[in-house]
Amino acid sequence: MLKKEKRIIIKLLLLTMCTSLMVSVKISAMENKQEFITNDVKTLTVNKEKDFTFDEKTGTITNYIGTDTTVVIPSRINGISVINIGREAFYDKYNITSVIIPDSVTNIEEEAFCECAVLRNVVIGNNVTNIGVNAFSDCINLKSLVIPDSVSKIGDFAFFSCNSLTSVEVGKGIINIGSQAFSYCSNAVYYVHGEEAEQLLINAGAEESKIILKH
């Protein structure tokens, strides 16, 4: 009887562990609307303007000085549109787990989110056209990625060594992917439109067997 009770307890413990592993932050990105939803089903608010160092002349966020682990970047700061995420603006921000980039942004500059070691979730705005060199390299806990149709260029090493990536959806607008942009992303499966995009990924370090063509 004791053995049977022990087996039941072990099964319950295993079930609890599995359930805990399945609880995660979920991101839903829609055509004209992006919502960031946590596992307690609460929509988060935009970060305060004071959390950012901002160059009003160029519309560039140059540094994140806030403390939130989830960062919802505002589309305007001091009444000025945010159009660039500047070089190293979020570099090595060890506490950030999730980021939403608004539709106002068109450019993510070099090393903007490089080495954000606990970053797991990113929503890229629908008007971003360029993802710069090393922009997200060594984000070793980044889980999945949707690159919108607006993105035409991904720089060298942009997602280099993001070895926790399991899913990458590449938009229809891509025409250039730099050297080793997806090298050492050994767990990723890629979803692309067309054979040209497939070849771009292969040249950028993606494994051919893990590329799926979407029709």
pLDDT higher than 70, residue 7: no
Q: What is the pTM (predicted TM-score) of this model?
A: 0.80
Whether the CA torsion 92, 146, 86, 96 is positive or negative: it is negative
Specify the pLDDT at position 4: 41
Q: Distance (Å, rounded) from C-alpha 155 to C-alpha 180?
A: 9
pLDDT higher than 70, residue 93: yes
pLDDT higher than 80, residue 215: no
Range 193-198 average pLDDT:
95
The DSSP bridge partners found for residue 189 are 167
pLDDT higher than 60, residue 13: no
pLDDT higher than 70, residue 35: no
Range 9-24 average pLDDT:
40
Q: Is the Cβ–Cβ distance between 160 and 132 less than 8 Å?
A: no
Specify the pLDDT at position 189: 97
- Band of pLDDT at residue 16, cut at 50, 70 and 90: very low
- In 92-210, beta strands by DSSP E: 98-100, 107-108, 121-123, 130-131, 144-147, 153-154, 167-170, 176-177, 189-192
- Band of pLDDT at residue 44, cut at 50, 70 and 90: low
Q: To the nearest whole percent, how much of the chain has pLDDT over 70?
A: 80
* Residue 41 or residue 139, greater confidence: 139
- Band of pLDDT at residue 148, cut at 50, 70 and 90: very high
Give the CATH number of domain 2-213. Answer: 3.80.10.10
- Give me the chain's average pLDDT, please: 85
